[in-house]
Amino acid sequence: MYLVCPKCLMAFASVPKKSGFKCLSCGHAWEPPSPEFADAYYHGLSDLQVVLVAGRRANFVVDKLPVELGRDSEFEELQRNLTVSRRHFRLDATGDTLLVTDLGSKTGTRLNGNLLPPNQTVQINPGDSLLVGGVTLRIELRFLPQEKPDDVELPGPADILLDSSTGITCIGEIESPSGPRLLETDSRNCAACLYQAGVLKQWHVLALRGSCIRVNGSRVLDHELQEHDEITIGRYRYVFLKDAACLRPVSPPSAVGLAAHGVIFRAGGRGAGRVILNDVSVVIPPKQLTCIIGPSGSGKTTLVKIICGVLAPDGGELEINGQHYSFDEYGVQLGGRIGLVPQDDVVHGELTVAQTMQYAAALRLPAGMGPSEKQGRILRILRELDLEHHANKRVGVLSGGQRKRVNVAIELLASPAILFLDEPTAGLDSATERQLVECLKRLARQGRTVVVVTHSLAAAVDEDCVVLMHDVGNGGRVIGQGSPSTLKSRLGIHDWTEV
């Protein structure tokens, strides 16, 4: 079992204990709400994600064990280094023990500076360093951000009052360790502890079992709650109300899926001009991150404008959640449910992030919404996008990826069901691009439909769904659509650079 830090979510080997925890990665020190809940911070490999870190340039997430890595693998840092053998080393696990084996490579594999004997299995731990040919890799274990379950979410059966007198309230199965408030669910491995901590007695939620506790769509271990945070426990959804000290049942956001069939668009209008889109059919699945990829001139931006209801096609059909609509009806049905982040920034460099959000909230939120509710929504969005600690910084001093997230935050103020982003990774380095894509995946896990338009093939690695477009000489067409693995298999390619 490994101890997981509730702040950075990194895991490391630790002797089991009941108190006095300190993270070996970020230095964070913490205590459980009471000794009986200390086991909640210990997790096996099934709850963790193995990550190989190659300096500051690239991370490789190991999807499953065992895995053989080398120049023939999908790890780009190993592909480009000729001192790495095609099959260099293997990672495996026995129970909760992580293992490494050098596969008789030409240049060998070193663990913390020591050369491994070929074809002999050796135990490794988080924080260990592997030298693979000329590439140094650090082993990390991270709390697994598991995908959202397919179960239909429901509003909770009733309010859950938080016990401020004891500062601890347990929610979950009948056998929950302690606490006066229990909610029986249909999942017997679902339990959470809500507790007050710190001088301000802020409420936290601690997941006691498995992966069934989510805050704003993301799996959490130990999370400090903010006003209007949405918590999913098993299949039940609640909103946290700080002043009322309760969890109130709330309906999950309605998912929106879009589709276009046989779409035709000409630059000069119907019957004239150059064909931009020629018989294009595409499906945008709900609650997923979809990436529309194609070179300049392939018609991807035109397609998105049509799907957004901004541009009328010359032919074809449009639908929302399987229901066909005329173009005028389609635009009415989508009204207020779409957020669009353009390629160019729409933020002022001299304003702080907080000021930017406050001005945007004044323009985009209902006039009748109270100041505290507006501020609560701003804080929740900044937290969702990892911008909370940048709130008082001027937009002009932020990195490119951080500025793009501020643009996304502005669109999220109106709680759109569908979010479109035009070339969001333009000008970003590969590491920042991956961070932004992971951020967008979190938004999709929270129940939004997210669509990214880009010419970057690297962006296709982590998406749920990829749409490939190309102009074959008579207008842009969709040449493939599906999950990254399915699409690569269908096209007969090893990686996206072969497209």
* CA triple 132-136-137, angle to 5 deg: 90
- Quick check: is 429 in a domain? no
User: In angstroms, rounded to a whole number, what is the distance separating the alpha carbons of residues 87 and 69?
Assistant: 6
Nearest to 93 by CA among 54, 59, 124, 114: 124
The phi, psi pair for 73, rounded to 5°, reads: -85, 180
Q: pLDDT digits over 73-97, tens only?
A: 888 889 888 999 999 999 999 999 9
Tell me how many domains the chain contains.
Answer: 3
Q: Are residues 136 and 91 in the same domain?
A: yes
The two tokens of residue 371 are 């100041």
- Nearest-CA neighbor of 289 among 441, 407, 483, 70? 441
Residues 122 and 53 in one domain: yes
Shared domain check, 55 and 25? no
276 within a domain of the structure (yes/no): no
Dist CA 403 CA 347 (whole Å): 8
DSSP symbol at 394: B
Task: Report the b/e string of 73-87 with b at 16+ CB within 10 A.
Answer: bebbbbbebeebbee
In 423-475, DSSP assigns E strands to 449-454, 465-471
139/170 same-domain check: no
Asked if residue 66 has a cis previous peptide bond (ω within 30° of 0), the answer is yes
Does 234 share its domain with 208? Answer: yes
Closest to 348 measured CA to CA, from 395, 389, 398, 413? 395
pLDDT tens, position by position, 351-374: 999 999 999 888 888 777 778 778
| Ramachandran region, residue 217 (left: φ > 0; alpha: ψ -120 to 50; beta: rest) | left
Do residues 138 and 51 both lie within one domain?
yes
Domain boundary among 93, 120, 143: 143
CA dihedral 416→420→422→426, nearest 10 degrees, is 80
Domain span at residue 13 reads 2-43
Per-residue pLDDT of the chain (499 residues; tens, 9 = 90+): 899 999 889 999 988 898 899 998 889 999 988 888 888 999 999 889 999 998 765 678 888 899 999 999 888 889 888 999 999 999 999 999 999 999 999 999 999 999 999 999 999 999 999 999 889 999 999 987 655 555 567 888 888 889 888 888 888 654 444 443 344 444 444 478 899 988 889 999 998 865 568 887 778 899 989 888 888 887 788 989 988 899 998 877 777 889 999 999 988 766 567 888 999 999 998 888 899 988 888 888 899 889 988 888 988 889 888 888 888 888 888 877 888 888 887 888 889 999 999 998 888 887 777 787 788 888 888 888 888 889 899 989 988 888 888 988 888 888 888 889 888 877 777 777 777 888 888 788 777 889 988 876 666 666 688 898 888 778 889 888 888 877 777 777 666 655 6
What DSSP designation does 74 have?
Answer: S
Is 52 contained in some domain? Answer: yes
CATH number, domain at 240? 2.60.200.20
Q: 124 and 72 share a domain? A: yes
Closest CA to 263 of 233, 231, 228, 300: 300
How far apart are alpha carbons 384 and 357 in whole angstroms?
14
